[in-house]
Amino acid sequence: MADTAPASASAPAAPDFSGWTCPAPLRDHERIVMGHGGGGTLSAELVEHLFAPAFGSDVLAELGDSAHLTMGGARLAFSTDSFVVRPLFFPGGSIGDLAVNGTVNDLAMAGAVPAYLSCGFILEEGIELSVVGRVAQALGDAARTAGVTVATGDTKVVDAGHGDGIFINTAGIGLVPDGVDIRPQRAAPGDAVLVSGQIGVHGVAIMSVREGLEFGVEIQSDTASLAGLVADMLAVCRDLHVLRDPTRGGLATSLNEIAGAAGVGITLDERSLPVPDTVANACSFLGLDPLYVANEGKLVAFVPPDHADAVLEAMRAHPLGKESVRIGTCVADHPGMVVAATGLGGTRVVDMPLGEQLPRIC
Amino acid sequence: MCLAVPGRVLEIEERDATRMAKVDFGGVVKDVCLEYVPDMQVGDYAIVHVGFALQRLDEESARQTLELFENLGVLEEEFGDHWGRAAKDAGAERPAGTELPADRSEKEARS
Amino acid sequence: MKYLDEFSDPVLAERLFDDIRALTTRPWSLMEVCGGQTHSIIRHGIDQLLPDEIRLIHGPGCPVCVTPLEIIDKALEIASRPDVIFCSFGDMLRVPGSGRDLFQVKSEGADVRVVYSPLDALRIAQENPEKQVVFFGIGFETTAPPNAMTVYQAKKLSIPNFSLLVSHVRVPPAIDAIMNSPDCQVQAFLAAGHVCTVMGTREYPDLAARHEVPIVVTGFEPLDILEGIRRAVRQLETGEHTVENAYPRAVNEQGSPAAQKMLADVFEVTDRSWRGIGMIPRSGWRLSPKYREYDAEYRFSVTGIETEESTVCRSGEVLQGLIKPHECAVFGKECTPRNPLGATMVSSEGACAAYYLYRRLEAPTVNAPAANTPAKEASSVG
C-alpha cells in the first residue's frame, strides 16, 4: 500500500517510504470504544494501524503474544500484559493470579522458561489497603507457583474515580531452549490441533459475577501457569509448531490469528470441542458461543502429525492437561479461515470476532 | 428473533409484589419473573426470555415430539411409504389421504 | 441442557432429513420468519444438508435489524444527555444510526449500559433517583411483555425517573405484507415459535387461508427446524395450506393470556416503519395514552427527529426474501459486520451477518478488502 501514500507530504527531509505502513484511519470510530480492548478485529487494527507504525519496530511487527529477542547469544522471550478485570476477586482467582499467569503463559507460548516478572500497580485513591494486600499476596503466591521471580515493580495512585480500584501491568522475560521455535507462522498443513482442556470456563466464571449479568453457577476460573505443561510437551516433541493461550476472544480468536499468520486453513470438529455443560448452558441463555469465551489456563497446540499422539499423552499426564483432546487439523484449503464441522454434519465458518461478545436477546 | 431457553423452577417468592423464581438452566441459576405464567410450580419447566417466563414447557408434548422423531424411520421401514415413493417416481403429487402413519397420529394429536 | 440437547440429536436429525428427502418432489421456497431460526440453520449447517429443491428464504424476524434508523437516532440523542442512563440489550449497541452507534456515544461520555433483562433497567432507575433511566424497548411479541412490565411497574411503584423508548413490532402484519408483495416467492412460512408462546396460534389461520400459504409454528433447535420444514413441505406437496404447530412443547393455541392482557393495557397498535422494508400498517406497538408519561420520545422531546435510509443497501429485499444476502453488490465489500450499511448486517441474527459469518466459504467475493472503499461515504445516509 506504500505507493498510495500522499505525495503532498512536504517534509524537510526526503520522504522515506521503506518502512512505511498505510496509516489507515480507525475506520468507524473517532474515539476508543470498548471493543478495541476485546482482542478481536478492532484490537488487531488498533495495533496494526496505530501502534505498529508509530513504534516502527521489526520485532513488534511479528505481532505475537511475546517477542523473540536475542541478547548476548541468549534467546529470550519478552512479553507484557495489563490487567483490568472487574470484579478484582472472582470465583477461582483474582486480578493478582491473572497478572502473573497471563504474562507467564505468554512467555510459555513461545516455548520459553519464564524467569523474571516486573509488576506495576495503578491504584485508585480510596481503595482499602487490605484489598491491595490480598491482591499482592495472591500475586506473590501465583509467582511462586509458576516458579518466576518478581524482580522489579512500581506503584502509582490515581484520583478517586479515575481507576477501577486496581490496575496491574506485568512484563516478563524467559529463556527459549535451544532448538525450540514456536511461532504462529509455523502452523503447517497436516498439523494436529490440540487443546489442553475444557474451554470457556474463565469467561463464564467472570460473567457470573459481573454487574447486571449475575447468575449462579458452580464454576471457577481456570487461571493457571502453563509453563510446566509446556515443558512436559517439549520433553516429548522439540518441534512443537505453535502454542497459544486462548484468552480474550477465546479459542476462535486464537485459531483465526494463527490461520491468518501462517496462511493456512484450520478445520475443527465441533463434536470434539471440550465444552463443559455449565459453560454451554450459560452461553445458551446469554446467546454466546463458547468458542469466543475467554480462557486463562488453557493452551492450543499445533503439533506435527507424527508427534500428535505422544504430545497428547504428555499433556494428559500433566495435572493441567488431563482433559486434553484433539479438536482439529491444519489444512492447506481455505487459507486464513477456520471452518467447523457441525454436530449435524454441516459446516460453518468460525470467524474472527469484531470486539467483545455481548449477550443478545435475539 | 427471540432467544428463549427452557429452565426448571427451583423456588418461588414474592418480591415487590411480583412473583419471582430462581430458575435452573442446567447448572446456571438466574432470577426470573413469573408474572406471565401464574400457575407455575416448583419443578416445572418454563420457556424463559430476557428474565421472564413466557410459557410453561409441556413435558408430555416434548416427549411425544421426540417419540415421533424416533418412529419416523422405523414406521417407514415397517410399512413402507409406497404412495409417496410412487408419487415421487412419477413426478406427481402424493394422493390425498396417503400420509405416513406417523403424520396421521400427529394430526390427531394436534387439535 | 434438558429440552435443548435432545432436540439437537444427530441420529434423529438424520431421520428427519431422510423423511424430508422422501417427501420432496419439486422445488419449494420456505421462509423462516425469525432471525433466531436463521442463526440456528446456518450455525448447524442445516441448509447445506437439505435437498437441493428446498430453498430457505431468511425472513425479517430480527428486531435489532428492523428497528428504524429514526428510532436509533432518537436513542443516540437521548443517550447523549448528561442526566441519562441509557439501558439496552447488548445486540442493539452496534446498530448504527446516521453515522454513530451506541458504542460511540458511550465512548463520548454517555452512560450506556447493557442489561440482560428490562427489569435490570428498572432496578437501575430505583438505585439512581437523580438520573433519568431510559430502556430501549425493542423486540417482537416475545419481548414486548417483559418490556411492558417495566412501565407497568414503574407506574405502580411510582418510579418517575424511568421511561421506555419503544420500537416494538408485530409478526402477523409483516407476514401479510410479505405475501402482498408482487415479487413474493415465499410458498410456506416457518412461523416464529417464541412469538407464539405469548400470542398463541390464533392470528395465523386467517393469514394461511387468505394467502393460501402453509404456516408451521416452528421452534429453534435443529430438530425443531427440521420438523417445521418437514411439515411445511408435506403441506406443499399435498396442496394444503393450514396452520400447524410443530413446537407444541412451548406453544399452544391461546398463548399467554396474562401477557396478552398486559400488552393490551400498556401498548396500542400503531403503524411502524421497518428498517430496510418501509412502513407496514398496524405492525407496531407504542405506549397507550395511559402510559404516555413513560414514553421516552415525549419525555425527551425527540419526536421531531426524522431520518432516511441508505439507498445502496438492499437489506429490504433480503428481509423480504427477494434476494440472498450475497446477491447484494455491496455484501462483504463495503458492507460487513464491521461496517454495516444495512440492518441485516448489523445483528448477529441478521440474514447478512449470518451469511457473512458462516457462509464466507461459499461466497468468494466477501474476501475482498473492505478498507479504503469510498462507497461507504458516498452511500451513507445523513
C10–chain A nearest CA distance, Å: 5
Q: Where are the beta strands (DSSP E) in B1-111?
A: 5-15, 18-24, 28-33, 45-49, 52-56
**Cβ–Cβ under 8 Å, residues A290 and A250:** yes
Q: How far apart are CA B3 and CA A287, in angstroms?
A: 7
Q: Do A216 and B26 touch (CB under 8 A)?
A: no
Q: How far apart are CA C82 and CA B92, in angstroms?
A: 68
**Cβ–Cβ under 8 Å, residues C124 and C84:** no
| Beta pairing, strands C215-218 & C188-192 | parallel
Residues of B in contact with A287 (CB under 8 A): 3
Percentage of residues of chain C with pLDDT beyond 90: 63
Q: How far apart are CA A314 and CA A235, in angstroms?
A: 9
Q: Is B105 helix (H, G, I), strand (E, B) or coil?
A: helix
Find the closest chain C residue to B28 by CA distance: C1
**Cβ–Cβ under 8 Å, residues C58 and C354:** yes
Please report the pLDDT score of residue C273 as a whole number. Answer: 87
**Cβ–Cβ under 8 Å, residues C138 and C168:** yes
B96–chain A nearest CA distance, Å: 32
Confidence of residue A44 (pLDDT cuts 50, 70, 90): confident
The vertex-C71 CA angle with C69 and C77, nearest 5°, equals 105
Quote the cell numbers at residue A79. Answer: 512479553
Task: Residue A10: count other Cβ atoms within 10 Å of its Cβ.
Answer: 6
Q: Which of C162, C118, C125 is nearest to C293 (CA)?
A: C162
Find the closest chain B residue to A213 by CA distance: B30
Q: Which of A241, A201, A223 is nearest to A142 (CA)?
A: A223
Q: How far apart are CA C192 and CA C142, in angstroms?
A: 10
Confidence of residue C311 (pLDDT cuts 50, 70, 90): low
Q: Which residue matches cell numbers 469465551?
A: A293
Rounded to the nearest 10 degrees, what angle do helices C144-156 and C118-127 cross at?
20
Please report the pLDDT score of residue A362 as a whole number. Answer: 64
Nearest CB among A33, A344, A361 relative to C107 is that of A33
Q: C288 vs A58, which has greater pLDDT? A: C288
Q: How far apart are CA A344 and CA B54, in angstroms?
A: 29
Confidence of residue A353 (pLDDT cuts 50, 70, 90): confident
Three-state helix/strand/coil letters over C241-266:
CCEEECCCCCCCCCCCHHHHHHHHHH
Query: Which of the 8 DSSP states describes residue A267?
Result: E
Nearest CB among C12, C195, C238 relative to B69 is that of C12
Please report the pLDDT score of residue C279 as a whole number. Answer: 86
Q: How far apart are CA A324 and CA A318, in angstroms?
A: 10
Among the listed ranges A74-78, B97-101, C365-369, which one has the minimum average pLDDT value?
Answer: C365-369
Residue B10 backbone phi and psi in degrees, to 5: -95, -45
Among the listed ranges A22-31, B60-69, C104-113, C323-332, which one has the minimum average pLDDT value?
Answer: A22-31
Q: A250 vs C273, which has greater pLDDT? A: A250
Q: Do A339 and C361 touch (CB under 8 A)?
A: yes
The predicted-structure confidence for A284-320, as pLDDT tens digits, reads as follows: 988 889 999 999 999 999 999 999 999 999 999 999 9
The predicted-structure confidence for C95-124, as pLDDT tens digits, reads as follows: 878 778 898 899 999 999 999 999 999 999
| Beta pairing, strands A192-195 & A325-331 | antiparallel
CB pairs under 8 A between A and C: 121
The vertex-C80 CA angle with A31 and A30, nearest 5°, equals 15
Please report the pLDDT score of residue A294 as a whole number. Answer: 94
Q: What are the angstrom distances between the C-alpha of C216 and each of A234, C179, C188, C349?
A: 57, 15, 8, 21
Mutate to test the interface with C, among B1, B30, B60, B110 (most CBs of C within 10 A): B1
Q: How far apart are CA B6 and CA A321, in angstroms?
A: 33
Residues of A in contact with C95 (CB under 8 A): none
Check pLDDT > 50 for residue C71. yes
Residue A26: exposure state from Cβ atoms within 10 A (0-12, 13-18, ≥19): middle
Confidence of residue C355 (pLDDT cuts 50, 70, 90): low
Q: Which residues of C69-85 are buried (b: 16+ CB within 10 A; e: fewer)?
A: bbbbbbbbbbbbeeebb
Q: Do B50 and C146 touch (CB under 8 A)?
A: yes
Check pLDDT > 70 for residue C368. no
Q: What is the pLDDT along chain B (111 residues), one digit of tens a residue?
A: 478 999 999 999 998 789 999 999 999 999 999 999 999 999 999 999 999 999 999 999 999 999 999 998 665 554 445 454 444 445 455 445 444 444 434 444 443
Quote the cell numbers at residue C165. Answer: 423508548
Nearest CB among C63, C108, C222 relative to A31 is that of C108
Please report the pLDDT score of residue A331 as a whole number. Answer: 97
Confidence of residue A61 (pLDDT cuts 50, 70, 90): low
Q: Do C139 and B2 touch (CB under 8 A)?
A: yes
Q: Do B72 and C223 touch (CB under 8 A)?
A: no
Please report the pLDDT score of residue A14 as a whole number. Answer: 39
Helix (H), strand (E) at residue A44: helix A41-46
Please report the pLDDT score of residue A349 as a whole number. Answer: 87
Residue C11: exposure state from Cβ atoms within 10 A (0-12, 13-18, ≥19): exposed
Confidence of residue A36 (pLDDT cuts 50, 70, 90): confident
Q: Mean pLDDT, to the nearest integer, of C316-340?
A: 65
**Which residues touch A236 (CB under 8 Å, ≥6 apart)?**
A307, A310, A311, A313, A314
**Cβ–Cβ under 8 Å, residues A280 and A293:** no
Task: Residue C166: count other Cβ atoms within 10 Å of its Cβ.
Answer: 28
Q: Which of A7, A267, A210 is nearest to A89 (CA)?
A: A210
Residues of C in contact with A35 (CB under 8 A): 103
Torsion sign, CA atoms B34, B40, B41, B44: negative
Q: Do B62 and C3 touch (CB under 8 A)?
A: yes
The predicted-structure confidence for C231-270, as pLDDT tens digits, reads as follows: 999 999 999 999 999 999 999 999 999 999 999 999 999 9
Among the listed ranges A8-22, C35-49, C149-163, C173-187, which one has the minimum average pLDDT value?
Answer: A8-22
Mutate to test the interface with C, among A204, A285, A361 (most CBs of C within 10 A): A361
Residues of A in contact with C46 (CB under 8 A): 344, 346
**Cβ–Cβ under 8 Å, residues C346 and C65:** yes
Please report the pLDDT score of residue B106 as a whole number. Answer: 44
Helix (H), strand (E) at residue C164: strand C162-169
Please report the pLDDT score of residue B108 as a whole number. Answer: 40
Residues in chain C: 382
Please report the pLDDT score of residue C367 as a whole number. Answer: 35
**Cβ–Cβ under 8 Å, residues C169 and C269:** no
Query: Which of the 8 DSSP states describes residue C44?
Result: T
Q: How far apart are CA A273 and CA C333, in angstroms?
A: 32
B27–chain A nearest CA distance, Å: 6
Q: Is C137 helix (H, G, I), strand (E, B) or coil?
A: strand
Among the listed ranges A238-252, A291-305, C55-69, C237-251, which one has the minimum average pLDDT value?
Answer: C55-69
Q: Do B73 and C15 touch (CB under 8 A)?
A: yes
**Which residues touch C50 (CB under 8 Å, ≥6 apart)?**
C17, C20, C56, C229
Q: Which residues of B59-90 are buried (b: 16+ CB within 10 A; e: fewer)?
A: eebbebbbebbebbbebbeeeebeebeebbee
A216–chain C nearest CA distance, Å: 14
Please report the pLDDT score of residue C98 as a whole number. Answer: 78
**Which residues touch A176 (CB under 8 Å, ≥6 apart)?**
A68, A75, A76, A77, A110, A111, A112, A113
Q: How far apart are CA A268 and CA A338, in angstroms?
A: 7
The predicted-structure confidence for A119-167, as pLDDT tens digits, reads as follows: 999 999 999 999 999 999 999 999 999 999 999 999 999 999 998 899 9
